Amino acid sequence: MRIDALDRSNLNSPFRRFLKIILRDNAGLFGALLFVALVGLAVMAPHVAPHDPLQQRLGISRLPPAWQEGGSWEYPLGTDNLGRDMLSRIIYGTRVSLTVGFVGVLIASSLGLILGMIAGYVGGRTDSIIMGVSNLFLAIPYLLLVVVIASVLGRSLVNVILIFGFTNAPLFVRITRGEVLRIRKSGYVESAVAIGASQRRILIHHILPNLVGPLLTVATFEMSGMIFYEAGLGFLGLSVPPNIPSWGNMLSAGRQYIQFSPWIAAFPGLAIVVTSLSMNLLGDWLRDVLDPKIRRSAS
């Protein structure tokens, strides 16, 4: 009741509306908090991690987590086959995963946005060429494509990011183009033309803002997808070099000890699940926040 009264007096305060939607949607709040925590971990890794993630202590290799018999709170999540601290490695692994996901999506979506807008707005032969190439890429089995490129280019963080950025762009091209075609035919673009608005103004003022919602939602899902695939590549030994702690590399290393030291593979696996869950929740929530129609139902 009291919240309702507040709403009406503050219909135009974006910040209040923002807060209200976060607080209303528990799943979204959970996803957002988790995401913020993960970003915090990645940024603050050197200060948060209890140990150097690369330091090997062969004397205490495959130490179980603290709550199991033989575990120690010095190494809360135990150690891996070379005696490196699992917790610290997981924390550092956040950096690789989030960087790949974030920068990869940034490249893919920017590329897709530009090409998709050109295809949708210019049309004709330009459209055919852009869509032809995009569809060609989408027709190749994704994992195969990524594995082939990764094995040709070799292991490095930059390569992984570029591979994901470029191979995911066609998806964004398709979505952007479809949305542009839909928005172009909408009444408000027709109205904008009728009041004498220039093409540039229509693109920037009417089409672009209406693309942000759908694209941002796809971007968050794609981000979780890239984190998944990065771990997959790491597992195959095609992602970042082994001297960089990444969840994929950790999974890969834990595979051969899974019978007797399951935690070495389980914790990075859990980290991947939690991260991708947080992004999916965040994606759902962002879609709601960016749509004024759903924004209203929050009041």
Partner 1 sequence: MSNTPILQVRDLHVRFDTVDGTVFAVNGVSFDLNRGETLGVVGESGSGKSVTMMSLLRLIPEPPGRIASGTARFRSRESDVDLLALNKSERAKIRGNRIGFIFQDPMSSLNPLLTVGDQIRESLEQHTDYRGARSRRRVVELLEQVGIPDPAKRYGNYPHQFSGGMRQRVMIAIAVACDPDIIIADEPTTALDVTVQAQIVDLMNRLSREYGIAVIWISHDLGVVAGIAERVMVMYGGTVVETGEIETVYNHPRHPYTVGLLGALPKLHESVPELVDISGTPPSLFSSPAKCPFEPRCPWAFDACRDDKPQLKVAGAPAASGTQHLSACWYDLERNEPRPEALPRKGRTQ
Give the residues lining the site for partner 1 (CB under 8 A).
Answer: 11-12, 186-188, 190-198, 205-206, 209-210, 291-293, 296
Complex with partner 1: residue 155 or 206, whichever CB lies closer: 206
Complex with partner 1: residue 52 or 190, whichever CB lies closer: 190
Q: How far is the CB of 139 from partner 1 (least distance, A)?
A: 28
Complex with partner 1: residue 135 or 186, whichever CB lies closer: 186
Nearest Cα to 76, choosing from 275, 267, 277, 253? Answer: 267
Complex with partner 1: residue 118 or 197, whichever CB lies closer: 197
Q: How far is the CB of 31 from partner 1 (least distance, A)?
A: 23
Complex with partner 1: residue 110 or 186, whichever CB lies closer: 186
- Strand-pairing partners, residue 85, are 79
Q: How far is the CB of 127 from partner 1 (least distance, A)?
A: 15
Q: How far is the CB of 197 from partner 1 (least distance, A)?
A: 6
